[in-house]
Structure 1
Amino acid sequence: MSQISRNLPATLKTAIDDAVRDLHGRIPAAIGCVIATVDGRLVSHVVDNDADPQRIAAMIGSMVALGETIGREVRIDRSQYVVVNALNGTFFAQRVPSRKELFVVSTLARPSTNLGIILHETRTTAATIGRAVDAWIEQHQASQTAQA
């Protein structure tokens, strides 16, 4: 997985960077948005406060995986996202849905932000990134087939 974060094709990296900037721009009270690999490598970010995007990236994959494990353990199935609602903000994280679940997207917003807005916009961004990942996978597989 770490190879993916270091060697992203330019088109996929651009799509992820654009999606992160768009997400940050669509949530008026957004403080930050971070995309990481599921094993905690930073891929892209926009952060307006002094939060460390590297540290966030290192935690969000584990946080989402723990939420999924808890969901299964308490018999409510695999969780779709994890929310940390704190005194000074809300943090939302979920896996990017794609043929290979390689990435996690997260959004940090001020407490004045409606949770539904964070949920909707983060899910929309995750789906956008997922489509870009799937297109990259298909292209990569097609080029390998052509070379064989």
Structure 2
Amino acid sequence: MSISEQIADKLRALEARIPDVEAGLVVTPEGLTIASALPPDADEERIAAMCAAAHSTAERICRELGKGEAQMSLVRGEGGYILVTSAGPSAILMIMTRPEAKLGLLFLEMRRLAKEIEELVGRF
């Protein structure tokens, strides 16, 4: 099984464990998809590029304001949350949730998943 397939399996497993998780995506800092568990109608390339840009912007804001390294970005929309975090130097993890998602649980799960993804991507 390829690394992309292993990561996609981990994204789907997160969705299965936490019903409020609707989708997941792992991209490079340049915005290229590594693994996806997005809905079929989603524009994967466009979302991948936007996730990388959002993470890069969050990193620049944190540096500019003296807050150190960006750890996670959270966007709250009417239909739920988008959470974006680093998964090491070569990957960015995005999770999409329903509005009633328990954020504390998601933060813990994302940290764990980000470490697993970092280890897998490090094998490329």
TM-score, with length taken from structure 2: 0.89
Q: Are residues 1:56 and 2:44 paired?
A: no
Which residue of the partner structure matches residue 6 of structure 1?
Answer: none
Aligned pairs, number: 124
Alpha-carbon RMSD: 1.7
User: Displacement of 1:24 after TM fit?
Assistant: 2.0
Instruction: Structure 1: give runs of 5+ residues left out of the alignment.
Output: 1-9, 138-148
Which structure carries more helix by proportion? 1
> Which amino acid letter does the alignment assign opposite residue 92 of structure 1?
L
Q: 2:72 aligns with which of 76, 81, 87?
A: 81
Q: Are residues 1:65 and 2:65 paired?
A: no
Q: 1:105 aligns with which of 72, 93, 110?
A: 93
Rounded to whole Å, the distance in 1 between the matches of 2:41 and 2:108 is 25
Q: Are residues 1:115 and 2:115 paired?
A: no
Rounded to whole Å, the distance in 2 between the matches of 1:48 and 1:29 is 14
Instruction: Structure 2: give runs of 5+ residues left out of the alignment.
Output: none
Three-state SS of the structure 1 residue aligned to 2:92 is strand
* CA distances 1:52-95 after superposition (whole Å, capped 9, x unpaired): 22221111111111101101111111110111011110000111
Rounded to whole Å, the distance in 1 between the matches of 2:17 and 2:55 is 23
Which residue of the partner structure matches residue 35 of structure 1?
Answer: 26
